[in-house]
Structure 1
Amino acid sequence: MRKTTIGIVILSIILIGMVIPAGFSGEANSVVITYGETTHANSNYKANVDSFFKSQSNIDLSTATEKIITANDVNKISSGITGKTYTSSQIYSSALVDLNDNGKLQVSVDKSKITTITGDMYLSALKSVGITSGHVYVTSPVTATGESALAGIMNSYEVATDVEIPDTVKEAANNEIYTQAEIVENSNVSADDLSKLVDDVKEVVQQNNTTDHTTIVNIIYNYTVINNINLTQNDIEKLADSIEQLQNVQGDINVYETQVSGVLNNTGSGSITDLFNGIFGK
């Protein structure tokens, strides 16, 4: 009987090795760090950023895949949205994405360094893209708005999942971030209040499946009244444009979300040992 049992166990191990797809354990590329090129080029800056990541995530950073986000990467997006262009000495924001922690999407922002973009803003933009899993950490070695970090975060997800986010979706998500940052910096509206308003409006717009600009403007205005938020007509128009843009690329978002959902659901979900224990008991 003992020989029979051992034989079954060995056969099961062989079968498991045959049917489990490569990367099931989530070890490869499950943690990705994107450094702003200014940060990566300065050893002190990089050490400060790494210190934040280690203290917040408790991850051995030597196991992480590293990428550098350049001014050119950021300018491909920002120049078409805000008209701003950055030099290689201006890209500080850095991000760590941990797909092992994939119960639900979480964002931890170093508020002592990231001055404008909040965790809720990143959450909203990532959910707009179709990303719903993973833990994201954002920091900078010096004070920064955090606008350029979204490019790094999305790049991290592409590296970790090997699924490319459509350019139309990247542009729409970044436009959402840049629009909110501009409004916060030039008004008395708090980042938290604005982020909540945008989330509420996007939910209604998606439920109604509308891309009509006037309709979206009216929905925004109604929420400013409900929440007693003072936005200029120009701010409302800009928000409507960014939300309308997201709605117009919803087809691309749905395709990406379908492609990436299986990867995000499996990454970090367990190792062969975990599966073995689940079948035979610990």
Structure 2
Amino acid sequence: MNKATKIMTTTLLASSLLLPTAASAEQVVDKTIITLGESLGAKDKAWVLARLNAPEGITPVIATAADEEKYLGKNVPQSQLGGNMYSSAKIELAEKGDGLSVATENITWVTKDMYLNALVTAGVTDADITITSPYKVTGTSALTGIMKAYDQTSAETGIKLTDERKDLAQQELAVTSDVGKTVGTDKVAELMNEIKAEIAKQKPETKVDIENVIIQVIQNNNIQLSDAQMDRLTSLFSQMEKADLNWGQIETGLKSAGQDIQAFATSEETKGFFAKLFDGLSNFFKSISGLFK
């Protein structure tokens, strides 16, 4: 065997250790699902899998640019789409009633609360979700991957996200982004949650009733919105009302946004995983260098 063949064989062997093979792997392992952005190179994939402490033998769901257009392109601003797909996610399915938590890292546009609100509206209620990227990115590919993951694993998890609710989640994300330009990204999710809580409490029956609830909430918070923003909010919540959503479930489907991902990254279990990974990489590169001696 010549040196070039040895190098190629060693490289393929290392890759097989870092990423599971499709033949032996599952998309749901230990109640966990992993999503990866399609733009990640081999080294970046290894970094993300280690960062998320991916279970052995799992097949990641790959989020593509075509998927992003399918799941988000109808309503999310194009300025936030169409870039490289790097953000990825770990979904840990929880027990019914546990609620939803989200932790993020290197995400610049989709905030934790924006993920929470959009996902609960889409029908995701009981899971701990960790989102990361090796680079600072908007975070839309992770949201795309999460939606795609629930679609692809519905037969195994029993969780089915309807097209109607996924569309409403897209709209909510877009409206939240728009209103956030006025009230601030740190306050807009709280505002949306308060509107939901009031709708759950007051049970408005008409579009005018919904508009009055929204006016009441923004006045209570001393917020001024444009007529266009008010129209978008009223339209969104009216569509939600027509979809006969369980407002009580939506209101209570959220729990703490979760601890910062840095706390996760410094856990003993994760540090042990990183140590094994980098030991393996170190030995791999030593073996390559040895071929040239």
Is TM-score (shorter-chain normalized) higher than 0.5? Answer: yes
Query: TM range, normalised to the smaller chain?
Result: 0.5 to 0.7
Does residue 99 of structure 2 align to residue 104 of structure 1? yes
Question: In the aligned structure 1, how far is the partner of 2:122 from the partner of 2:133?
Answer: 24
Q: Secondary structure at the match of 2:52?
A: helix
Match of 2:162 in 1: 166
Match of 1:191 in 2: 185
Would the alpha carbon gap of residues 248 and 75 (structure 1) be closer, same or farther in structure 2, given more than 3 Å must change? Answer: same
Q: Is the 8 A contact 1:175 1:242 kept in 2?
A: yes
Would the alpha carbon gap of residues 204 and 188 (structure 1) be closer, same or farther in structure 2, given more than 3 Å must change? Answer: closer
Please report how far the alpha carbon of residue 144 of structure 1 lies from its aligned counterpart in structure 2 after TM superposition: 2.1
Gaps of at least 5 residues in structure 2 are 1-27, 251-293
Question: In the aligned structure 1, how far is the partner of 2:39 from the partner of 2:179?
Answer: 26
Question: In the aligned structure 1, how far is the partner of 2:57 from the partner of 2:230?
Answer: 44
Would the alpha carbon gap of residues 48 and 239 (structure 1) be closer, same or farther in structure 2, given more than 3 Å must change? Answer: farther
**TM-score, normalised on structure 2?**
0.64
Would the alpha carbon gap of residues 117 and 82 (structure 1) be closer, same or farther in structure 2, given more than 3 Å must change? Answer: closer
Using the aligned pairs only, state the percent identity.
28
Q: Secondary structure at the match of 2:43?
A: helix
Q: Is the 8 A contact 2:76 2:174 kept in 1?
A: yes
Q: Is the 8 A contact 2:29 2:55 kept in 1?
A: no
Q: How many residues align?
A: 216
Deviations 1:38-60 (A, max 9, x none): 23xx1233234334323xxxxx4
Decide which of 127, 143, 152 is 1:150's aligned counterpart. 143
Q: How does 1:118-267 map to 2 (within 5 A)?
A: 118-158=111-151, 159=153, 161-184=157-180, 187-210=181-204, 212-250=206-244
Question: In the aligned structure 2, how far is the partner of 1:215 from the partner of 1:154?
Answer: 32
In the TM superposition, structure 1's runs of 4+ consecutive aligned residues that sit over 6 Å from their partners are none
Question: In the aligned structure 1, how far is the partner of 2:222 from the partner of 2:50?
Answer: 40
Please report how far the alpha carbon of residue 210 of structure 1 lies from its aligned counterpart in structure 2 after TM superposition: 3.6
Letter in 1 for 2:42: S
Match of 2:84 in 1: 90
Question: In the aligned structure 1, how far is the partner of 2:149 from the partner of 2:186?
Answer: 25
